[in-house]
Amino acid sequence: MQLGDRNVVITGASRGIGAALARECAARGARVTVVARSAGPLADLATELGGHAVTADLADASVTAGLIARIEDEVGPIDVLINNAGIDLAGGFAELSGEDLERLIRLNVLAVSELTRQALPGMIARGGGHLVMISSLAGSGTFPGIAVYAGTKAYVTHMSEGIRLELKGLPVGLTVVEPGLVRPTDMADSVTSYAPTAACFARFNRLGLLADVDRDTLAHHAVNAIEQGKSHVRYPKRARLFPQLTNAPRRMVALCLAGVPRR
């Protein structure tokens, strides 16, 4: 799918990966709608890109309810939905508050699921569209301090593979993006502020198994994947074996289901 004149909606777009994705899509001619709860930075980005800003706290179920329909009423049918919004809340599991735990799951799991559920029927009915799920290498292998975050990303990846099976034979694409630690981002700063997690990243970097990911480079690869219809973006490439191994049972199941009706 070429992005020229396409409606692209990006959540969590006020900064970091989301803002980089918005700029990359706009550079390729897309009409960009950016969604986040930080009204000021979001409005500035929309003005910069000639796009549309929707201020929304996606951890609030009353806000996500009907959100896709409201956006489409304002900008038209959505061609690409990029589910990027997420938080990490790095720290010891026993030290998390109930409120923090609920917010993390609502944003990283429920909001992604709900917005996808709302957007997908329209894409199918119109005969085209693309979904992008920003997951993480943490969904394949976690470190201390990010247990819940990693669990939410494992959910996103696993759910996406199930949706992919249901989309077989339909003109709707789906790309799962699984990056390592992306800089410069607030999330990277938050994760590495917790000493046990920072030490784990340092160990993997010394072993040559991980390397920091540049956010603009990641955005470039992710948008390439939309235009080229790729199913996965795994970056840095040196770490791609981890998600490939994790995905192997899913691929085996998909192969065994050849010929079985999906819908």
Q: Which residues are catalytic?
A: 149
Burial classification of residue 81, based on how many CB atoms lie within 10 Å of its CB (0-12 exposed, 13-18 middle, 19 or more buried)? buried
d(CA 43, CA 51) in angstroms, rounded, equals 9
Chain-centroid distance, C-alpha 132: 6
Q: With CA atoms as reference, report the closest residue to 13 among 83, 78, 70, 64.
A: 83
d(CA 175, CA 231) in angstroms, rounded, equals 4
- Which residue pairs, CB below 8 angstroms and at least 24 apart, start in 164-170? 164/231, 165/254, 165/257, 165/262, 166/262, 166/263, 167/262, 168/262, 169/262, 170/124
C-beta separation of 191 from 146 below 8 A: yes
C-beta separation of 90 from 191 below 8 A: yes
Amino acid (1-letter code) at residue 5: D
Return the ∠ at Cα 132 (arms to 138 and 74), rounded to 5°. Answer: 135
Instruction: Report residue 59 as tokens.
Output: 């951890």
Instruction: Report residue 20 as tokens.
Output: 């980089």
